[in-house]
Amino acid sequence: LEKKKTKDLFQKFEGATSLGIYYDNPQMAIDKNECRAIVGVLVPPNVSIGDLRAEVNADEYKIAEVPRVESIRVFWPFRNVLSFLVLALRAYPVMERYLRAVSYT
Protein backbone atom coordinates (compact mmCIF):
# COMPACT_ATOMS: atom_id res chain seq x y z
CA LEU A 1 0.00 0.00 0.00
CA GLU A 2 1.11 3.52 -0.63
CA LYS A 3 2.23 5.39 2.46
CA LYS A 4 -0.49 8.08 2.12
CA LYS A 5 -3.25 5.51 1.66
CA THR A 6 -2.05 3.54 4.66
CA LYS A 7 -1.90 6.71 6.76
CA ASP A 8 -5.51 7.41 5.74
CA LEU A 9 -6.58 4.03 7.13
CA PHE A 10 -4.86 4.71 10.44
CA GLN A 11 -6.70 8.04 10.64
CA LYS A 12 -10.10 6.50 9.79
CA PHE A 13 -9.85 3.60 12.21
CA GLU A 14 -8.53 4.50 15.64
CA GLY A 15 -6.50 1.63 17.01
CA ALA A 16 -5.50 0.25 13.59
CA THR A 17 -2.03 -1.33 13.47
CA SER A 18 0.23 -2.62 10.74
CA LEU A 19 0.37 -6.34 10.17
CA GLY A 20 2.86 -8.60 8.45
CA ILE A 21 2.36 -12.33 8.14
CA TYR A 22 5.36 -14.33 7.03
CA TYR A 23 4.50 -17.90 6.05
CA ASP A 24 8.02 -19.12 5.32
CA ASN A 25 11.39 -18.89 7.01
CA PRO A 26 13.81 -17.49 4.41
CA GLN A 27 16.71 -19.25 6.16
CA MET A 28 15.11 -22.61 5.41
CA ALA A 29 13.75 -21.82 1.94
CA ILE A 30 15.35 -23.38 -1.09
CA ASP A 31 14.48 -20.32 -3.15
CA LYS A 32 14.23 -17.19 -1.00
CA ASN A 33 12.28 -15.45 -3.77
CA GLU A 34 9.47 -17.97 -3.27
CA CYS A 35 8.85 -16.99 0.38
CA ARG A 36 5.24 -16.05 1.02
CA ALA A 37 4.09 -13.03 3.04
CA ILE A 38 1.30 -10.49 3.28
CA VAL A 39 1.39 -6.97 4.66
CA GLY A 40 -1.59 -4.90 5.61
CA VAL A 41 -3.48 -2.87 8.16
CA LEU A 42 -5.23 -4.62 11.02
CA VAL A 43 -8.38 -2.77 12.03
CA PRO A 44 -9.81 -3.05 15.55
CA PRO A 45 -12.33 -5.85 16.22
CA ASN A 46 -15.17 -3.35 16.70
CA VAL A 47 -14.97 -2.45 12.97
CA SER A 48 -17.22 -4.77 10.97
CA ILE A 49 -16.43 -5.90 7.44
CA GLY A 50 -19.49 -3.95 6.27
CA ASP A 51 -18.25 -0.76 7.95
CA LEU A 52 -14.82 -1.31 6.43
CA ARG A 53 -16.23 -1.78 2.92
CA ALA A 54 -18.31 1.39 3.32
CA GLU A 55 -15.24 3.41 4.29
CA VAL A 56 -12.60 2.23 1.82
CA ASN A 57 -12.41 2.06 -1.96
CA ALA A 58 -12.42 -1.60 -3.06
CA ASP A 59 -10.31 -0.66 -6.09
CA GLU A 60 -7.50 0.55 -3.80
CA TYR A 61 -7.66 -2.01 -1.00
CA LYS A 62 -8.17 -5.73 -0.72
CA ILE A 63 -10.29 -6.55 2.31
CA ALA A 64 -9.80 -9.93 3.94
CA GLU A 65 -10.41 -11.61 7.25
CA VAL A 66 -7.40 -13.43 8.64
CA PRO A 67 -8.50 -16.59 10.45
CA ARG A 68 -7.11 -17.38 13.88
CA VAL A 69 -4.35 -19.96 13.74
CA GLU A 70 -1.66 -21.20 16.07
CA SER A 71 1.23 -18.84 15.50
CA ILE A 72 4.13 -16.96 16.96
CA ARG A 73 3.62 -13.22 17.23
CA VAL A 74 6.37 -10.66 17.27
CA PHE A 75 5.69 -7.04 18.07
CA TRP A 76 8.17 -4.56 16.66
CA PRO A 77 8.00 -0.77 16.35
CA PHE A 78 7.87 0.55 12.82
CA ARG A 79 9.99 3.68 12.54
CA ASN A 80 11.10 3.50 8.91
CA VAL A 81 11.67 1.02 6.08
CA LEU A 82 14.77 -0.36 7.83
CA SER A 83 12.53 -1.55 10.67
CA PHE A 84 11.56 -4.57 8.55
CA LEU A 85 15.19 -5.55 8.03
CA VAL A 86 16.07 -5.18 11.70
CA LEU A 87 12.94 -7.12 12.64
CA ALA A 88 13.92 -10.06 10.45
CA LEU A 89 17.49 -10.08 11.73
CA ARG A 90 16.40 -9.96 15.37
CA ALA A 91 13.15 -11.94 15.33
CA TYR A 92 14.05 -15.08 13.37
CA PRO A 93 16.76 -16.25 15.79
CA VAL A 94 14.45 -15.69 18.78
CA MET A 95 11.59 -17.56 17.09
CA GLU A 96 13.90 -20.43 16.15
CA ARG A 97 15.11 -20.76 19.76
CA TYR A 98 11.51 -20.76 20.97
CA LEU A 99 10.46 -23.41 18.45
CA ARG A 100 13.38 -25.63 19.47
CA ALA A 101 12.54 -25.15 23.16
CA VAL A 102 8.95 -26.30 22.65
CA SER A 103 10.05 -29.10 20.28
CA TYR A 104 8.02 -27.78 17.36
CA THR A 105 8.77 -29.48 14.05
Digit-coded pLDDT (tens) for 26-47:
777 788 788 888 888 888 888 8
Whether 47 contacts 59, CB under 8 Å: no
Measured from the Cβ of residue 13, the count of other Cβ atoms closer than 10 Å reads 19
The pLDDT of residue 2: 53
Q: What is the pLDDT of residue 48?
A: 87
pTM for this predicted structure: 0.61
SS3 17: strand
Query: Does residue 87 contact residue 74 with C-beta atoms inside 8 Å?
Result: yes
Residues of the chain under the 50 pLDDT cut: 1
Q: Which of 60, 18, 59, 61 is nearest to 39 (CA)?
A: 18
